[in-house]
Amino acid sequence: SGAFNAIRVRGIPVVLVLLARLTTTALGVAAGRALLDRQASAPALARAALVSSAAVQLVGYLSPWFPSNRLPGETPLYVAWTLVYYGGWLVYLGRSKRIAALYG
């Protein structure tokens, strides 16, 4: 919600980042529902949601368009943690025997 104030200052790029975040959130909700309903396409949708979420976060960290309160030098740590976190979930989805058994 704090980004809405930045629209006047930073313009269209902030609006595009907000729209990407909204779309990514909708994709994540759809993936969660598909996982709960045990649909066969759920793991693929979850992977897409994870990749989309990681990409949106990385754009937010690495671009000057989105306001941040990170201290100088912290951005590489945020980027590394984001890659480890989402990479771990992607590995889990790809290698989990439970996921394979539930979703085929």
Condensed to tens digits (0 to 9), the pLDDT of residues 17-73 reads 888 989 999 999 999 999 999 999 999 999 999 999 999 999 888 887 666 777 888
Alpha carbon of 43 to those of 50, 59, 94, 99: distances in Å?
10, 24, 8, 8
Prediction pTM value: 0.82
